[in-house]
């Protein structure tokens, strides 16, 4: 699954650590999701959507 | 030490492992002290002989608690990957060696108590696999 996490984070000038702290996960997790090595669970994907105030389908895209 | 090692679940795991390791060494020393060499198989020695083995169950419990307490799903995923690799390596090695022992009488017999240390070594292999596949370590070996 592709995602726009890196772009959205850059637009807000957030570091990976900042986003990780906001989500309550490790920076490793954010990095793994951004680079496509790990697909988050639905609850975490919804938390990410809430933080960016965007619908989930505008962050996570089908392959 | 990586940032994930500051995760409370990893800290608790490290403390539990330290306590269990201390208890394991203590019970091994107790068994060596209490059971004379060439002692007969007697009920009186049974608790001393079984106690270290029971404590090995404590390590398994500590690892299970780590998986339960890790709130970060990616770190939990990495730990599960390591455990799967360790289990696969151990089952493959012990299975293959056991069959080889049947057909090669001069092959050294591997005592069963080596299975758990082999599994722990498998966790190190798992750590390497995780590092290569995901470029990350998780939090503990």
* Domain encompassing residue B114: 72-141
pLDDT above 50 for B2: no
List, for residues B27-80, the tens digit of each pLDDT value. Answer: 999 999 988 888 788 888 888 889 999 999 999 999 999 999 999 999 999 999
Please indicate, yes or no, whether residues B101 and B116 belong to a single structural domain of this protein. yes
Nearest-by-CA chain A residue for B3: A26
Q: Are residues B26 and B62 in the same domain?
A: yes
Residue pLDDT, tens place only, B108-137 = 999 998 999 999 999 999 999 999 998 877
pLDDT per residue as tens digits for the range A1-59: 899 999 999 999 999 999 999 999 999 999 999 999 999 999 999 999 999 999 999 99
Question: Which chain A residues are closer than 8 Å to B72 by Cβ?
Answer: 25-26, 29
Helix (H, G, I), strand (E, B) or coil at B29: helix
What's this model's pTM, rounded to 2 decimal places? 0.85
Contact B136 A28 (CB under 8 A): yes
Nearest to A26 among B75, B134, B135 (CB): B75
**Domain boundaries along the sequence of chain A:** 2-56
Token pair 């619908």 is found at: A55
Please indicate, yes or no, whether residues B54 and B88 belong to a single structural domain of this protein. Answer: no
Chain A positions in Cβ-Cβ contact with residue B71 (cut-off 8 Å) = 24
**Same domain (yes/no): B95, B66:** no
Mean pLDDT computed over every residue of chain A: 94
In a shared domain, residues B58 and B91: no
Residues B141 and B77 in one domain: yes
Whether B73 sits inside 8 A of A26 (CB atoms) is: no
Q: Are A4 and A35 in contact (CB under 8 A)?
A: no
- Number of structural domains, chain B? 2
* Amino acid B140: pLDDT: 58
DSSP H or E segment with residue A3: strand A2-3
- Contact B2/A28, CB-based, under 8 Å? yes
For residue B31, give Cα distances in angstroms to A48, B111, B113. 54, 18, 15
- Fold adopted by A2-56: 434 Repressor (Amino-terminal Domain) (1.10.260)
């Amino acid at each position: 699954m592709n995602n726009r996490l890196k772009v959205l984070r850059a637009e807000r000038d957030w570091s990976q650590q900042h986003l990780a702290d906001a989500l309550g996960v490790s920076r490793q997790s954010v990095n793994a999701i951004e680079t496509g090595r790990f697909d988050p669970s639905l609850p975490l994907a919804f938390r990410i959507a809430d933080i960016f105030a965007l619908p989930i389908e505008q962050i996570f895209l089908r392959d | 030490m990586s940032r994930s090692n500051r995760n409370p679940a990893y800290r608790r795991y490290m403390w539990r492992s330290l306590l269990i390791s201390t208890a394991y060494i203590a019970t091994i020393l107790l068994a060596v002290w209490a059971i004379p060499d060439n002692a007969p198989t007697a009920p009186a020695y049974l608790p001393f002989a079984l106690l270290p083995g029971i404590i090995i169950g404590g390590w398994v419990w500590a690892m299970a608690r780590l998986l339960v307490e890790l709130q970060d799903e990616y770190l939990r995923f990495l730990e599960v990957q390591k455990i799967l690799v360790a289990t696969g390596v151990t089952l493959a090695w012990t299975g293959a060696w056991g069959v080889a022992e049947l057909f090669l009488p001069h092959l050294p017999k591997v005592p069963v108590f080596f299975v758990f240390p082999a599994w722990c070594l498998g966790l190190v292999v798992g750590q390497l696999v995780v590092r290569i596949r995901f470029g990350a370590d998780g939090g503990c070996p």
